[in-house]
Structure 1
Amino acid sequence: MILFPNAKINIGLNILSRRTDGYHNLETIFYPLVIRDALEVVEADQLEFTSSGLAIPGNATDNLCIKAYNLLALDHKLPPVHIHLHKHIPIGAGLGGGSADASFFIRLMNEKFGLGMDVIQMEAYASQLGSDCAFFIKNKPALAVGKGDQLQTIDLDLGKYFIVLVMPAVQVSTSEAYRGVSPAAVSSPLSDLIRLPVEEWRSVIKNDFEPSVFSQYPIIGEIKSKLYNAGALFSSMSGSGSSVFGIFKEELKLPDLEQNNKIFYGV
């Protein structure tokens, strides 16, 4: 059985306060993209994980799909499976690719082996694997608060716009990005700001990671500037980086940015 886990972008990201558990309270909008991995699961003699496409750092036993299997196995009788992941979503880009793989694995196992889990149960398992994992169970635009694991589905459709995603040849670790931010109060909740026309987002919606990440990796900030110069209505780094997206009124090509970066058009 095969599913195709997709990426997401963050539209706005406000760091609100530091939690006693070491995490931060935040608010952000998750929006799904059509950049996809391919995830296949077949029954096997023993549990095994293999991959192709982009290189995945770390040991196979540490992959979130394996962790998801072991988590499900605590409550469900599962046969051993061979998991194969073809990786296409850039890693270390703030696109949630690993989280998507884990959550789609939970969905796949539920369907393939008739585990009988509803959406709430699958979200509960997914949230144990990562702060943004639960989003990919419903996989619909959502306001995320708390650690990013408390979700409220919102009415947001960017289908009439043309989204360009630019991935520079750098990666930003999440822990590194968090070291450079300080919690701050916000004047208006993101749930209100996202209702404004996209043309107004530029002046009111921000990503708190950008100042520190741009200072360490100026190329990321330069990409955002170039997207605005090319006519983007709104541009932002996604999550803690390093990818940057631009929302345009019309389809276009950006050959200058193609020279040193990976670009996804119409995502």
Structure 2
Amino acid sequence: MITFPNAKINIGLNVVEKRPDGYHNLETIFYPVKLSDALEVIEADKTAFSSSGIEIDATPENNLVYKAYSLLTGDYDLPPVKMHLHKVIPFGAGLGGGSADAAFMLKVLNDYFELGLTSTQIEEYAARIGADCPFFVQNKPTFAHGIGDQFKPVNLDLSAYEIVIVKPPFSVSTPQAYKNITPAKPEFNLQQIEKLPIEDWKAVVKNDFEKSVFPQFPEIEKLKNQLYEAGAVYASMSGSGSAVFGIFRHSPIDLDRFLPEGIFIYR
């Protein structure tokens, strides 16, 4: 069975407060995009994991796809499987690729072996893998809060626009992104975004991580500005970076001339 785990972008990201447990409460919009990995699962004599595409710098047992399989085998008598992941979604980019892979693995195993799990039950398993992992079960525009693990549906449809994702040839770690972050109550309620024309987003829909990441990585801020120069109606860093996305009314022509060499472009 083959499935295609897709990435997400964060439209707005507010770091609201630091919690007593050391984590931070966030508010953001998760929006699914077309950029996808490919995941194949077949029965085998022995459980094995392989990959292609972007190199995965981890042992098979530490990959989230493998962890999803191991999680279900703890409760169900699943046979051995061969897993192959073709990796396209970049790491350290704020696009949720690893979480998507794990969530889609749970869904594939549920369908392939007819486990009969409901979406809610799959989400409960996914939450044990990562805070944003359950989002990819329903895979619909969502307002996320708490540590990014509490969800409310959002009536947001960007299908009439083209979303372009660009990424510099480096990643941003979460600790780097949190450096110099000062939690604060946001001025704009992201749950109201569906009522706001996209032309007005630039003034009020902010990613708080940009204030921390841009001084450390000015190349990322430059990419955002270049997307605006190319005609984006809205542009932002996704999550904690390093990817930046632009939302265009029409497909941008000659986008390459606005961007420096070595930049990865996903459309």
Give the TM-score band, short-chain normalised. Answer: over 0.9
Question: For residue 57 of structure 1, what is the aligned residue in structure 2?
Answer: 57
1:227 is matched with 227
TM-score if structure 2 supplies the norm length?
Answer: 0.96
Residue equivalent to 1:150? 150
**Kept in 2: contact 1:193–1:204 (CA 8 A):** no
TM-score by length of 1: 0.96
For the 8 Å contact 1:126–1:133, the answer to whether it is kept is yes
**One-letter code of the match for 2:264?**
K
2:154–2:194 Cα contact (<8 Å) kept:
no
- Residue 75 of structure 1: SS of its match in structure 2? coil
Give the match for residue 255 of structure 1.
Answer: 256
Counterpart residue number, 2:161: 161
User: What is the CA–CA distance in structure 1 between the aligned matches of 2:18 and 2:72, rounded to whole Å?
Assistant: 30
- 1:154-200 CA deviation, whole Å, 9 max, x = no partner? 11110111211111111001222123312111123210134200000
Is the Cα contact below 8 Å between 1:13 and 1:208 reproduced in 2?
A: yes
Does residue 1:213 correspond to 2:213, yes or no?
Answer: yes
DSSP 3-state at the match of 1:152: strand
Alignment-derived partner of residue 182 in structure 1: 182
State the alpha-carbon separation in 1 of the partners of residues 45 and 178 from structure 2.
42
The corresponding residue for 2:92 is 92
Unaligned regions of 5+ residues in structure 2, if any? none
Alpha-carbon separation, structure 2, partners of 1:123 and 1:255: 39
The 8 Å contact of residues 99 and 132 in structure 1, kept in 2 or not, is answered as: yes
Which amino acid counterpart does residue 91 of structure 1 have in structure 2? Answer: F
How many aligned positions are there?
A: 265
Q: 1:213 and 1:133, CA in 2 relative to 1: closer, same or farther beyond 3 A? A: same
Q: Mapping of 1:1-267 within 5 angstroms?
A: 1-253=1-253, 254-256=255-257, 257=259, 259-265=261-267
The residue type paired with residue 70 of structure 1 is S
- Whether the aligned pair in 1 keeps the contact of 2:162 and 2:251 (CA below 8 Å) is yes
Q: What per-residue deviation string (whole Å, max 9, x for no partner) do you get for residues 136-160 of structure 1? A: 0011110001111111111111011
Shift of 1:258: 5.8
Compute the RMSD of aligned alpha carbons.
1.2
User: Unaligned stretches of 5+ in structure 1?
Assistant: none
CA contact (8 A) 1:238 1:245 kept: yes
Q: How much has 1:118 moved relative to structure 2? A: 0.3
Deviations 1:25-67 (A, max 9, x none): 1010000111110101111122211100000122111000111
Q: In the TM superposition, what is the alpha-carbon distance from 1:259 to its structure 2 partner?
A: 2.4
Q: Would you identify which runs of 4 or more consecutive aligned residues in structure 1 move more than 3 Å? A: none
Contact 2:230 2:252 (C-alpha < 8 Å) held by counterparts: no
Flag the 1:100–1:178 CA change in 2: closer, same or farther, 3 A: same
Partner SS, residue 13 of structure 1: strand
Per-residue CA deviations over 1:106-132 (Å, capped at 9, x if unaligned) read: 000000001110010000110111111
Q: In the superposition, relative to structure 1, how do residues 258 and 6 fare at CA in structure 2: closer, same or farther (>3 Å)?
A: farther
Identity %: 54
What are the Cα deviations for residues 54-93 of structure 1, in whole angstroms up to 9, with x where unaligned? 0012211100011111211221111111111000111111
Q: Distance in 1 between matches of 2:249 and 2:263?
A: 22
The residue identity in structure 2 corresponding to 1:207 is: N
Q: Give the counterpart letter for 1:189 in structure 2.
A: N
